[in-house]
């Protein structure tokens, strides 16, 4: 397993890629007030995508202001919704079977994994702050970026899948 400092810089990894956003990645970027990261990714010609369960999680708050803030980001940065077809659902099921018993991600995380696995040959990446539900060796770490403010620090990770690790 590579030591994290040996992983490529996130800008190199993310350039010209489609980035699939996990819910917590969007929320973390907003809460740390670091939208410039999205601007930098756009400058690197990255495209931003999400799946419908992520949108449902983003809107699952009673705070109208937060909802507005989140949907405004999705509109402003041209996020596109990737459809969930039978193939993605099947791959999500294979991921679930392949994970260790102690790892029980949410359905949204499994669908994100299925979507990532579906597109693994197209070099798409998942951006998440919740790496514990995306364990090695199924999910390969491609890069990490840091969010920070005056009193805390958070890591966002760019992942892809190793489909050879999936039980059929």
- Based on CB atoms, which residue is closest to other proteins, 74 or 99? 74
Q: How far is the CB of 67 from other proteins (least distance, A)?
A: 5
Q: Report yes or no: 141 and 132 within 8 Å, Cβ to Cβ.
A: no
Q: How far is the CB of 74 from other proteins (least distance, A)?
A: 6
- Based on CB atoms, which residue is closest to other proteins, 12 or 149? 149
Q: Write down the residue that tokens 């705070």 correspond to.
A: 63
DSSP state of 8: P
| Beta-carbon contacts of residue 48 (< 8 Å; ≥ 6 apart) | 18, 19, 21, 38, 41, 77, 78, 79, 80
Q: Rule CB under 8 A: which residues touch other proteins?
A: 55, 59, 62-65, 67-69, 71-72, 74-76, 78-81
Q: How far is the CB of 16 from other proteins (least distance, A)?
A: 17
Q: How far is the CB of 73 from other proteins (least distance, A)?
A: 10
* CA proximity to 129, closest of 161, 103, 156: 156
- Based on CB atoms, which residue is closest to other proteins, 39 or 78? 78
- Based on CB atoms, which residue is closest to other proteins, 55 or 131? 55
Distances (CA, A) of 124 to 11, 63, 65, 76, 121: 14, 32, 31, 21, 8
């Amino acid at each position: 397993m590579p030591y994290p400092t040996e992983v490529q810089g996130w800008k190199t990894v993310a350039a010209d890629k489609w980035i699939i956003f996990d819910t917590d990645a969007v929320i973390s970027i907003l809460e740390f007030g670091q939208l410039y990261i999205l601007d930098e990714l756009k400058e690197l010609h990255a495209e931003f995508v999400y799946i419908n369960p992520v949108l449902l999680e983003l809107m699952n708050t009673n705070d109208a202001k937060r909802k507005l803030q989140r949907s405004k980001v999705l509109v402003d940065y041209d996020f596109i919704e990737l459809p969930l077809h039978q193939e993605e659902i099947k791959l999500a099921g294979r991921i679930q079977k392949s994970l260790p018993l102690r790892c029980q991600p949410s359905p949204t995380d499994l669908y994100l994994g299925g979507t990532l696995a579906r597109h693994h040959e197209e070099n798409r990446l998942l951006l998440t702050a919740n790496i514990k539900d995306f364990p090695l060796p199924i999910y390969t770490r491609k890069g990490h970026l840091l969010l920070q403010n005056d009193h805390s620090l958070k890591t966002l990770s760019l992942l892809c899948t190793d489909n050879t690790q999936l039980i059929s």
